Amino acid sequence: GAVVSQHPSWVICKSGTSVKIECRSLDFQATTMFWYRQFPKQSLMLMATSNEGSKATYEQGVEKDKFLINHASLTLSTLTVTSAHPEDSSFYICSAVTNYGYTFGSGTRLTVV
Amino acid sequence: TQLLEQSPQFLSIQEGENLTVYCNSSSVFSSLQWYRQEPGEGPVLLVTVVTGGEVKKLKRLTFQFGDARKDSSLHITAAQPGDTGLYLCAGGTSYGKLTFGQGTILTVHP
């Protein structure tokens, strides 16, 4: 089956710094990658949709300058949280559409201190 | 905006009991999926239903898709502690986005 590898699994950073999260499609080409945010005991909230070679589409209320998405190749999409603040602490998950349906990464737990 | 109302949000039951989780919407979805998520991990797909009225069984789990493709249910028979987790329904659209329900946190006590 299709696998999306997400790294890092967890990261702790200081306020004001930037953090990059990577999602790689290991055995397929991901034309589209979805990025979600999830707070404890809550559901997934779609942040943005990234398309290879074009600008990402952000959901309403998501700051595009704060959450930078790059999808430069068919196997790699990245989410950079810029100038992170404690309120950005959350679980971030990527997902790609494959021939088997939607495949999710294992998530990244971001803690901003 | 398409919304999926999932209920109940929390469910705490004893081992051996049955339970049902519901997902309802005023919108029609091209497909509806059910996921189970463990803490610190991504969601894992349980089933996809695409045809109105469809019923799928996965061991002790039974999934139904409403005739109008606006609602779905997940029924678990004889729940076990290993069924504990966050259950999510998600509606698919023709343009690829998934709309998630609020999730149901299920706890099965031994």
Confidence of residue B94 (pLDDT cuts 50, 70, 90): low
pLDDT, position A96: 93
Q: Do B98 and A34 touch (CB under 8 A)?
A: yes
pLDDT, position B1: 63
Query: In chain A, pLDDT over 90 holds for what percent of residues?
Result: 80
Residue-wise pLDDT for A72-84, tens only, equals 899 999 999 999 9
pLDDT, position B95: 67
Residue-wise pLDDT for A15-58, tens only, equals 999 999 999 999 889 889 999 999 988 999 999 999 888 889 99
pLDDT, position A100: 75
Copy the structure tokens of residue A95. Answer: 């997902």
Which of residues 73 through 112 in chain A touch B, CB cutoff 8 A?
A: 91, 93, 95, 97, 101-102, 104-107, 109
Residues of A in contact with B8 (CB under 8 A): none
pLDDT at B105 over 70: yes
A44 touches chain B (CB under 8 A): yes
Q: Do B44 and A41 touch (CB under 8 A)?
A: no
pLDDT, position A98: 81
DSSP E strands in chain B: the ranges are: 5-7, 10-14, 19-24, 31-37, 44-49, 55-58, 61-65, 71-76, 85-92, 98-100, 104-109
pLDDT, position B97: 83
Residue-wise pLDDT for B12-71, tens only, equals 999 999 999 999 998 898 889 999 999 889 999 999 999 999 999 999 999 999 999 999
Q: Mean pLDDT of all residues in chain B?
A: 93
pLDDT, position A52: 87
Report the C-alpha gap between A3 and A11 in whole angstroms.
Answer: 22
pLDDT, position A72: 82
Q: How confident is the model over A56-68, as a mean pLDDT? A: 94
pLDDT, position A48: 94
CA-nearest of A88, A79, A78 to A113 is A88
Q: Do A102 and B45 touch (CB under 8 A)?
A: yes
Per DSSP, the three-state class of B6 is strand
